[in-house]
């Protein structure tokens, strides 16, 4: 029988998830960022489940919300394992699922069509996401698509595994296999972007609760250190300075 505390306790949730991967370099270098992200992933999954169980949301919409938050978990694990190419493929699928959640929330007459697996709702959902306030959705989705499909970026990304196995297979392929490109910051920034996209949607779906969207939940300080939130802010500032010094 599974431990229900994994559902109700974000600390136990985090401990169990992190224990699935041992000795991750990412844990050492980005521990505060991971703690903040995992809190909000847990919270989204918990609130979605609670809304379904309590009958406060349309069941199919609540389950889709739950599936979105759970889809973050293999992404986090792939980052920790050092597989950037596979992480990018999963991030593309996550962005599609977030777009679908938002589209169905705003067009609930199509939920039955979605459940019946009829029509091309995903295409409509991506067009909907393109019109939303979150910037660069389609631009980033295009980058992820280049990795997911058989364009040059696709096969190349899967050669960048940042772990012992990846380095071993690159040994005869690159001049300096031990110095592979580190994409951890970019991948974690993608996770932040995805949370910024899904949180306002999920908050509206579960309107019976006043959820402060990521990263503004003061209740997070019950489970996080204030320094963790400061580290996340500093991480994002460094990321912006690196990729756009004008920001």
Decide if 95 contacts 103 (C-beta within 8 A).
no
State both tokens at 66.
């739950």
CA distances from 119 to 59, 108, 110, 114, 124 (A): 20, 14, 9, 8, 10
Domain ranges of the chain: 5-243
pLDDT of residue 93: 96
pLDDT of residue 118: 73
pLDDT of residue 228: 95
Backbone angles phi, psi at 103, to 5 degrees: -65, -45
pLDDT of residue 2: 66
pLDDT of residue 1: 46
Positions in the chain whose pLDDT score sits under 50 = 1, 177
Q: What integer best gives the mean pLDDT of the chain?
A: 88
The rounded Cα 27 to chain-centroid distance in angstroms is: 17
pTM for the structure as a whole: 0.91
pLDDT of residue 27: 93
Q: Which residue has the tokens 């050492």?
A: 28
Say how many C-beta atoms besides its own lie within 10 A of residue 87's C-beta. Answer: 28
């Amino acid at each position: 029988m599974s431990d229900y505390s994994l559902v109700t306790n974000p600390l136990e949730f985090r401990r169990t998830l992190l224990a699935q991967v041992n000795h991750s370099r990412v844990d050492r270098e980005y521990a505060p960022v991971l703690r903040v992200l995992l809190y909000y992933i847990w919270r989204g999954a918990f609130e979605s489940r609670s809304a379904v169980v309590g009958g406060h949301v349309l069941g199919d919409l609540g389950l889709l919300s739950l599936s979105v938050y759970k889809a973050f978990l293999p992404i986090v694990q792939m980052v920790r394992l050092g597989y950037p190419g596979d992480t990018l493929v999963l991030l593309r699928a996550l962005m599609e699922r977030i777009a679908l959640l938002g589209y169905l929330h705003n067009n609930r007459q199509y939920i039955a069509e979605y459940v019946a697996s009829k029509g091309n709702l995903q295409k409509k959902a991506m067009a909907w996401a393109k019109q939303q306030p979150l910037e660069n959705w389609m631009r980033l989705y295009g980058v992820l698509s280049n990795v997911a499909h058989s364009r040059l970026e696709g096969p190349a990304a899967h050669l960048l595994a940042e772990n012992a196995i990846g380095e071993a297979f690159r040994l005869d392929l690159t001049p300096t296999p031990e110095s592979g490109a580190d994409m951890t910051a970019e991948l974690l920034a993608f996770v932040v972007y995805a949370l910024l996209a899904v949180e306002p949607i999920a908050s509206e779906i579960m309107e019976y609760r006043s959820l402060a969207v990521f990263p503004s939940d003061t209740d997070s300080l019950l489970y996080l250190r204030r320094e963790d939130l400061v580290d996340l802010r500093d991480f994002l500032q460094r990321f912006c300075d690196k990729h756009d010094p004008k920001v």
